[in-house]
């Protein structure tokens, strides 16, 4: 019997700095992968999330962390990348995709992650996309992920050789409350994550991301980890 230690498989994790991506990153580690994190400076108004991504990577012991600059704000088209548009604060509407949708963002991000994964010989790419408590984004759905998996097999040397990286979205069908419970179980530093869409020093508490996050944290009994506005709501309820 050989005493040679089996090499740990590699995974690339898209780490935005938010709750979902941090939980996804922790899940990849628990699943036994050596993780390379990748974050994107894409001209987003909430640059604060990149600081959060660095803090999360350090806390989780991830030393291989790439921050890629790609300026999607050049052409705008989203309230996250254009100062001419305001981030909505009046709640989600079921019949429309909100202005916080960034055209092509996930498609660009996953394509770059595929390049990194193939270069490093990674067998998986972990994505924090979610199709339940999300803002109606078309690139957060299981059918989108399935289509991109097919593309990954067609578009790369690794794919032609039969070992394209698997696109893994462990949170895709979880509610936000389920994600919070998973994060707590995995020891995710929730207090270091950043979800707010506004480019301020503190979370606004009223944008879609803050609302969904706060509601979930309060529902699982952790209003202490919500924004100040979320805590006030829980105390007055």
Give the CATH number for residue 67. 3.40.50.620
Write phi, then psi, for 166 (nearest 5 degrees). Answer: -80, 135
196 lies in a domain?
Answer: no
pTM: 0.90
- What are the structure tokens assigned to 126, written together? 């972990």
The answer to whether residues 193 and 17 touch, using CB atoms and an 8 Å cutoff, is yes
Q: In the predicted model, is pLDDT for residue 156 greater than 90?
A: no
46 lies in a domain?
Answer: yes
The answer to whether residues 171 and 128 touch, using CB atoms and an 8 Å cutoff, is yes
Q: In the predicted model, is pLDDT for residue 184 greater than 90?
A: yes
* Structural domain of 113: 10-176
Calculate what percentage of the chain has a pLDDT beyond 70: 90
61 lies in a domain?
Answer: yes
Average pLDDT, the chain: 90
221 lies in a domain?
Answer: no
**What is the helix (H) or strand (E) element at residue 69, kind and residue range?**
strand 65-69
For the annotated binding site for Zn(2+), the residues are 196, 204, 207, 210
71-106: pLDDT as tens digits: 999 999 999 999 899 998 877 666 678 899 999 999
pLDDT at 230: 41
18-50: pLDDT as tens digits: 999 999 999 999 999 999 999 999 999 999 999
53 lies in a domain?
Answer: yes
188 lies in a domain?
Answer: no
For the annotated binding site for ATP, the residues are 15-25
Angle 214-57-52 from CA coordinates, rounded to 5°: 40
5 lies in a domain?
Answer: no
Q: In the predicted model, is pLDDT for residue 234 greater than 90?
A: no
- What are the structure tokens assigned to 43, written together? 């001209």
For the annotated binding site, the residues are 15-25, 196, 204, 207, 210
- Measured CA to CA, the distance from residue 218 to residue 21 in angstroms comes to 20
- What are the structure tokens assigned to 27, written together? 């899940």
The total number of structural domains in the chain stands at 1
2 lies in a domain?
Answer: no
């Amino acid at each position: 019997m050989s005493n040679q230690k089996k090499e740990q498989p590699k995974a690339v994790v898209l780490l935005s700095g938010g709750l979902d991506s941090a939980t996804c990153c922790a899940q990849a580690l628990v699943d036994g992968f050596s993780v390379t994190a990748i974050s994107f400076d894409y001209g987003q108004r909430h640059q604060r999330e990149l600081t959060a991504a660095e803090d999360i990577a350090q806390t989780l012991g991830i030393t291989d962390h790439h921050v890629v600059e790609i300026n999607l704000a050049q052409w705008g088209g989203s309230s996250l990348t254009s100062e001419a548009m305001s981030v909505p604060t009046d709640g989600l509407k079921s019949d429309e995709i909100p202005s916080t949708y960034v055209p092509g963002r996930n498609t660009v991000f996953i394509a770059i992650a595929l390049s990194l994964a193939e270069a490093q010989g990674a067998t998986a790419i972990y994505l924090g996309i979610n199709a339940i408590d999300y803002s109606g984004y078309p690139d957060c759905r299981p059918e989108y992920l399935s289509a991109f998996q097919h593309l990954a097999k067609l578009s790369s040397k690794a794919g032609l050789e039969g070992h394209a990286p698997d696109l893994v979205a462990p949170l895709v069908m979880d509610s936000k409350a389920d994600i919070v419970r998973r994060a707590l179980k995995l020891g995710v530093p929730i207090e270091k994550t950043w979800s707010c869409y506004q480019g301020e020093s503190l979370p606004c508490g009223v944008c879609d991301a803050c609302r969904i996050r706060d509601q979930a944290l309060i529902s699982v009994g952790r209003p202490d980890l919500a924004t100040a506005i979320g805590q006030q709501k829980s105390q007055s309820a």
